[in-house]
């Protein structure tokens, strides 16, 4: 039995071996090529024709079509043979893959990406106000940003991702750029904030997940924006988020990116010994007692040589306390102690697809960021949920639902209840390096700023729910009726706590830091409800084969209600349960309510003659609740035209050199209703606790009503735009250029001067004008090297200048606007240089030529100012445009020639993108101790560059750093009036704000 069983197993093994050999031989004789074809957004392309050609025998060709998932396959290929694949599809550039060698060992798998054809790009549909248009038919100044360009950047909001992507778009941070999740401001062509619509509904661009963006249309001129009337005085951003497609198999996408965030060029403080000698020299210049005694400096030197020694000793004048400020002997770089690096992460998961009559898109996103502050919580988090559904109820009726839910959380540090980031940075930077970090008992010192920072916090929670329901009815061919209703609920919560901080005494006991007493808790809640209704209809028709028309008209209404409640209570009894109910002290409560509403009627006419001559006219009639009844309505028209020269018959002679050429021009008028509400009402203020006691108590009382201006009305602007677009070198080089002029009329300005006996604030008037001139330029080059290497270069640059063309300033005083003023201009003195000889100083003192600036003694190392008008005195005259003495315009702080540069390259399945952004011209006047270094003794901040100050005395152990008469900074003084005389706005210390920055490399 055993022998027979062994024989049977041998037979089975031999049979299996023969079968395996047969399969291997079959695989070697019948290798396969499989692949997937994707578009430039990594979506599968169905029905692509894929042709395979054997390189050694071009007569043998086979064709297949990709399936609904973009997949294709070729089988029964010759092992070790070389093949070429050709991919072609309507709307895409043909692509060829050469010399693909088929492995004899198995199958080959490839992924191919097809680029959109240039002719298709010209026919791409662009989102515009209340509709879409082909790109080639646009007559207004409209730029389009592909959502794909936003998704590869390590940023957490859309504004940051737009930086440098579009000419004419300015992104600014102001004073808020330091915080995690910073929400930058956006401007189009240098003025105001644009109207932001997300899928047709007002939204916050900084709360949107960049991964969900399909495209952004930037409407720059009045012709493109006029359809939105009063809500779009400064242009429009139309953001379209991703959607599902009918007959699309479920597609799941997951993305994650992140990385560290670091401070560029983080300042470095000088060591405490250098600081002490420099500050002592400042006091020597002033002729007052030195700040640092010899014994303190000896202790500083000893501590630097042996950091195991204590940083401070008991205060000789009060032995129960530690020596601090100029009496301690530490050696700390407070910037390095407090500031490190942060990190930023972003994740997104989405699924989309559709059936024959329905499409869906679901997305969940998360973003987080930790700031660079080391000692406190400084972080931001956001959750985004999006759900979109489109359903065809019938062939002529479609309904849509769009839901967005956003939750933002921000933990922000606070200092003593006095302020946030600005106060924290100010306190850290002014802390002397000799101040001790920890006492010998191991407690943080008060002047380290850490106890105060850790004893307080601010927490912001913002929740937004947006629901949009829309329907489209198509009662006849080319006729559609649309309606949508949107509602936004915004709930904003704030909690701020200021707890008591402590510092230790020499005996180890803890005492409260007086500035943190008493403790307090504050809570704010705000609810905003925004509702909008849009009803519009469009109809397309032709008259003959060449005359194409489209008419659109509609109605819009909006309402916004705001409700705010705030409460503060002092003296918390425990820090374990921080709430208003666990506080026993004084309580303060306040609230605010407001509302506004708009209504608008709009219409548009488009005419297209044979894709050559284009015309568009927009009309908008708007009303707002923010003005008096007689001033509420405004009419805002626009007109634009375009000529596609390259579609003319005569252009065929030039088409080999210039493939595409379009000229366009526009004129439009826009209104601005963005003013404070209730300025037309004489409001009566209500107060409590009258200063007199009536019937045994202090009664409530009212104030006199404010003065009003019943004639307050719309600010309006008129914009003219001329543009040209062309493509050359077989469409590889594309150029777009726009020049525009904008005149803003009836801007709010100061009221006429009235006698002081009036005793009340005078309301503002529509009495000023502003003129803007500017241009935008965009250039794109796309090229290829061989069949596998593709590259592109896209550069954009723009510039604008704002000039005050009318302003009620009859005296021409320079402290406010005046007619002819360039916005951002900097008035100052021309600088001769630093006074280098005693003879120069004697001349200035004897002639009293600079006594207007400072009547005290001028010394070597002080600044000499230029006497421009030759009257022997340096002053500002009457400080007016007619008599400004020796003042002159020395610069302008407006960012000029802003640019962005995108470089990209791809080789097979590898790609690289590099993005630069910058400003080519800008002047900055900087002030304060961070720039000048020296200030009053407790406000000085010395970095290595500040040591290049004027010195004409030799150094000693306890004062001075040695002679330095060829210095950049002037002689320092400890008295405010003395150091201020050298810090007048002037050419010597005007800074160059131009820069170029590598923003992304991925």
Is the distance from CB of 176 to CB of 196 less than 8 angstroms? no
What does the pLDDT read at residue 527? 97
What does the pLDDT read at residue 720? 96
Kindly report the pTM of this predicted structure.
Answer: 0.84
Of the candidates 238, 236, 227, the one whose C-alpha atom is nearest the C-alpha of residue 605 is: 227
Is the distance from CB of 520 to CB of 572 less than 8 angstroms? yes
Q: What does 92-119 look like in DSSP terms, one character per residue?
A: B--EEEEEEEPPTTS-EEEEEEPPBPHH
- CA 43, distance to chain mean position in Å, is 29
Is the distance from CB of 723 to CB of 663 less than 8 angstroms? yes
- CA 79, distance to chain mean position in Å, is 56
Q: Any bridge partners for residue 490, and if so which?
A: 464, 528
Task: Provide the percentage of residues in the chain whose pLDDT is more than 70.
Answer: 94
In the structure, how many helices (H) and strands (E) does the chain have?
13, 50
Residue 176 has pLDDT above 80, yes or no: no
- The predicted model gives 112-131 an average pLDDT of 71
- 67-71, 277-281, 444-448, 752-756, range with the lowest pLDDT: 752-756
Q: Which residue has the higher pLDDT, 217 or 91?
A: 217
Residue 415 has pLDDT above 50, yes or no: yes
What does the pLDDT read at residue 17? 39
Q: How does 777-815 read in b/e, with b if 16+ C-beta sit within 10 Å?
A: bbbbebeeeeeeebbbebbbbbbbebebbbbbbeebebe
Q: Which pairing describes strands 314-315 and 701-702: parallel, antiparallel, or unpaired?
A: unpaired
What does the pLDDT read at residue 277? 98
What does the pLDDT read at residue 107? 67
- Provide the pLDDT confidence category of residue 120 given band limits of 50, 70 and 90: very low
Residue 16 has pLDDT above 70, yes or no: no
Predicted confidence (pLDDT) per residue in 790-845, tens digit: 899 999 999 999 999 999 998 999 999 999 999 999 999 999 999 999 999 999 99
- Provide the pLDDT confidence category of residue 550 given band limits of 50, 70 and 90: very high
The helix or strand, by DSSP H or E, that contains position 977, with its residue range, turns out to be: helix 976-980
What does the pLDDT read at residue 151? 72
Reduce the DSSP state of residue 911 to 3 states and report it. strand
- The predicted model gives 576-583 an average pLDDT of 93
- The predicted model gives 873-888 an average pLDDT of 96
- The predicted model gives 548-564 an average pLDDT of 96
Cα distance between residue 200 and residue 208, in whole Å: 14
Predicted confidence (pLDDT) per residue in 910-943, tens digit: 888 898 999 999 999 999 999 999 998 999 999 9
Torsion angle, alpha carbons of 448, 450, 455, 461, to 10: 130
Residue 408 has pLDDT above 50, yes or no: yes
- The predicted model gives 311-333 an average pLDDT of 95
Q: Which residue has the higher pLDDT, 333 or 83?
A: 333
Cα distance between residue 971 and residue 979, in whole Å: 8
- The predicted model gives 359-371 an average pLDDT of 96
- The predicted model gives 442-453 an average pLDDT of 96
What does the pLDDT read at residue 420? 87
Residue 115 has pLDDT above 90, yes or no: no
- The predicted model gives 87-111 an average pLDDT of 75
Per this entry, what is the length of the chain? Answer: 1002
Predicted confidence (pLDDT) per residue in 498-522, tens digit: 999 999 999 999 999 999 999 999 9
- The predicted model gives 159-188 an average pLDDT of 83
Cα distance between residue 153 and residue 492, in whole Å: 29
Q: How many CB atoms lie within 10 A of CB 411?
A: 17
Q: Which residue has the higher pLDDT, 11 or 946?
A: 946
Average pLDDT value over all residues in the chain: 89
Is the distance from CB of 225 to CB of 129 less than 8 angstroms? yes
Q: ω before 518 within 30° of 0 (cis)?
A: yes
Reduce the DSSP state of residue 326 to 3 states and report it. helix
Residue 152 has pLDDT above 70, yes or no: no
Residue 698 has pLDDT above 50, yes or no: yes
Q: Any bridge partners for residue 361, and if so which?
A: 352, 388
Q: Phi and psi of 547, rounded to 5°?
A: -100, 105
Rg over alpha carbons for the chain, rounded to the nearest Å, is 36
Residue 891 has pLDDT above 60, yes or no: yes
Residue 337 has pLDDT above 50, yes or no: yes
- Provide the pLDDT confidence category of residue 7 given band limits of 50, 70 and 90: very low
Predicted confidence (pLDDT) per residue in 593-652, tens digit: 999 999 999 999 999 999 999 999 999 999 999 888 888 899 999 999 999 999 999 998
- The predicted model gives 687-708 an average pLDDT of 82
- Provide the pLDDT confidence category of residue 106 given band limits of 50, 70 and 90: low
Task: Provide the percentage of residues in the chain whose pLDDT is more than 90.
Answer: 65
- Provide the pLDDT confidence category of residue 15 given band limits of 50, 70 and 90: very low
Residues 6 or more apart in contact with residue 816 via CB below 8 angstroms: 750, 807, 809
What does the pLDDT read at residue 883? 96
Cα distance between residue 932 and residue 925, in whole Å: 11
- Provide the pLDDT confidence category of residue 91 given band limits of 50, 70 and 90: low
- Provide the pLDDT confidence category of residue 79 given band limits of 50, 70 and 90: confident
Instruction: Give residue for tokens 């005389």.
Output: 981
Is the distance from CB of 518 to CB of 334 less than 8 angstroms? no
Predicted confidence (pLDDT) per residue in 638-683, tens digit: 999 999 999 999 998 998 899 999 999 999 999 888 877 887 778 8
Is the distance from CB of 745 to CB of 717 less than 8 angstroms? yes
Instruction: Select, from the ranges 177-186, 254-263, 847-856, the one with the highest average predicted confidence (pLDDT).
Output: 847-856
Tokens of 5: 């069983």
């Amino acid at each position: 039995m055993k022998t027979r069983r062994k024989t049977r197993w041998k037979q089975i093994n031999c049979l299996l071996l023969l079968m395996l050999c047969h399969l291997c031989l079959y695989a070697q004789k019948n290798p396969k090529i499989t692949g997937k074809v994707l578009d430039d957004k990594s979506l599968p392309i169905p029905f692509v024709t894929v042709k395979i050609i054997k390189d050694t025998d071009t007569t043998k060709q086979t064709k297949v079509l990709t399936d609904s998932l973009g997949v294709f396959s070729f089988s029964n290929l010759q092992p070790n043979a070389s093949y070429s694949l050709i991919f072609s599809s309507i709307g895409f550039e043909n692509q060829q893959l050469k010399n693909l060698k088929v492995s004899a060992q198995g199958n080959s798998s490839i992924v191919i990406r097809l680029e959109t054809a240039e002719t298709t790009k010209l026919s791409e549909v662009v989102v515009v106000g209340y509709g879409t248009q082909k790109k080639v038919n646009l007559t207004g100044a409209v730029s389009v940003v592909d959502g794909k360009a936003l998704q590869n950047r390590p940023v957490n909001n859309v504004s940051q991702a737009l930086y440098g992507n579009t000419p004419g778009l300015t992104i600014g941070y102001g004073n808020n750029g330091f915080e995690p999740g910073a929400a930058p401001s956006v401007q189009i062509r240098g003025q105001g904030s644009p109207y932001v619509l997300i899928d047709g509904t007002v939204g916050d661009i900084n709360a949107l997940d960049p991964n969900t963006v399909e495209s952004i249309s930037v409407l720059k001129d009045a012709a493109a924006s006029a359809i939105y009337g009063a809500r779009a005085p400064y242009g429009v951003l139309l953001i379209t988020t991703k959607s599902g497609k009918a007959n699309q198999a479920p597609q799941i996408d997951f993305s994650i990116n992140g990385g560290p965030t670091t401070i560029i060029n983080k300042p470095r403080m000088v060591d405490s010994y250098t600081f002490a000698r420099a500050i002592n020299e400042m006091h020597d210049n002033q002729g007052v007692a030195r700040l640092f005694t010899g014994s303190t400096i000896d202790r500083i030197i000893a501590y630097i040589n042996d950091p195991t020694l204590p940083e401070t000793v008991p205060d000789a004048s009060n032995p129960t306390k530690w020596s601090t400020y100029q009496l301690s002997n530490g050696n700390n770089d407070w910037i390095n102690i407090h500031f490190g690096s942060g990190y930023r992460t972003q994740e997104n998961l989405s699924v989309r697809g559709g059936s024959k009559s329905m499409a869906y898109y679901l997305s969940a996103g998360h973003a987080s960021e930790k700031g660079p502050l080391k000692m406190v919580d400084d972080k931001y988090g956001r959750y985004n949920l999006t759900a979109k559904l489109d359903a065809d109820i019938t062939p002529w009726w479609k309904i849509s639902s769009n839901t967005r839910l956003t939750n933002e959380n921000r933990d922000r540090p606070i200092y003593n209840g006095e302020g946030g980031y600005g106060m924290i940075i100010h306190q850290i930077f002014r802390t002397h390096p000799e101040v001790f970090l920890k006492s010998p008992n191991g407690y943080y010192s008060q002047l380290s700023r850490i106890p105060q920072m850790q004893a307080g916090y601010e927490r912001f929670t913002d929740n937004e729910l947006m629901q949009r329901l829309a329907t489209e009815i198509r009662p006849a061919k080319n006729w559609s009726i649309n309606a949508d209703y949107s509602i936004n609920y915004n709930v904003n919560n704030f909690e701020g706590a200021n707890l008591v901080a402590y510092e230790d005494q020499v005996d180890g006991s803890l005492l409260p830091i007086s500035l943190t007493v008493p403790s307090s808790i504050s809570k704010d809640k705000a609810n905003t409800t925004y509702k909008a209704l849009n009803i519009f209809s469009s109809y397309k028709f032709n008259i003959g084969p060449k005359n194409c028309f489209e008419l659109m008209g509609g109605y819009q209404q909006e309402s916004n209600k705001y409700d705010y409640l705030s409460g503060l209570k002092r003296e918390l009894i425990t820090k374990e349960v921080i709430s208003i109910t666990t506080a026993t002290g004084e309580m303060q409560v306040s609230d605010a309510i407001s509302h506004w509403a708009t209504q608008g009627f709009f219409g548009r006419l488009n005419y297209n003659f044979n894709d050559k001559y284009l015309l568009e006219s927009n009309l908008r009639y708007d009303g707002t609740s923010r003005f008096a009844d007689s001033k509420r309505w405004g009419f805002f028209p626009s007109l634009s035209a375009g000529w596609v020269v390259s579609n003319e018959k005569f252009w065929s002679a030039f088409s080999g050199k210039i493939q595409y050429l379009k000229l366009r021009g526009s004129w439009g008028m826009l209104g601005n209703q963005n003013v404070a509400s209730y300025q037309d009402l004489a409001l009566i203020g209500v107060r409590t606790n009258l200063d007199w006691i009536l019937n045994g108590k202090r009664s409530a009382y009212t104030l006199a009503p404010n003065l009003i201006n019943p004639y307050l009305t719309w600010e309006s602007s008129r914009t003219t735009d001329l543009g040209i677009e062309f493509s050359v070198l077989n469409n590889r080089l594309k150029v777009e250029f726009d020049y525009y002029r904008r005149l803003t009329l009836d801007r709010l300005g100061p009221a006429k001067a009235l006698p002081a006996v009036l005793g009340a604030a005078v309301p503002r008037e529509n009495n000023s004008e502003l003129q803007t001139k500017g241009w935008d330029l965009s250039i794109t080059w796309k090229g290829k090297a061989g069949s596998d290497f593709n590259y592109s270069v896209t550069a954009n640059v723009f510039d604008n200048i704002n000039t005050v063309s009318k302003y009620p300033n009859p005296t021409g005083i320079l402290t406010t606007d005046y007619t002819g003023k360039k916005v951002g201009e900097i008035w100052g003195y021309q600088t001769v240089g630093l006074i280098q000889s005693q003879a120069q100083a004697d001349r200035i003192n004897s002639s009293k030529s600079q006594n207007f600036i400072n009547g005290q003694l001028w010394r070597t190392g002080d600044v000499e100012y230029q006497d421009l008008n030759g009257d022997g005195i340096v002053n500002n005259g009457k400080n007016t445009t007619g008599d400004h003495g020796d003042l002159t315009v020395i610069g302008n702080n407006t960012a000029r020639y802003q640019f962005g540069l995108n470089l990209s390259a791809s080789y097979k399945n590898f790609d690289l993108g590099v993005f630069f952004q910058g400003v080519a011209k800008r002047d900055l006047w900087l002030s304060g101790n961070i720039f000048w270094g020296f200030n009053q003794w407790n406000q000085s901040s010395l970095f290595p560059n500040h040591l290049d100050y004027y010195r004409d005395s030799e150094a000693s152990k306890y004062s001075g750093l040695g002679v330095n008469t060829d210095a950049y900074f002037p002689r320092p003084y400890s008295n405010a009036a003395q150091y201020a005389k050298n810090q007048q706005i002037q050419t010597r210390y005007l800074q160059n704000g131009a820069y170029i920055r590598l923003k992304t490399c991925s």
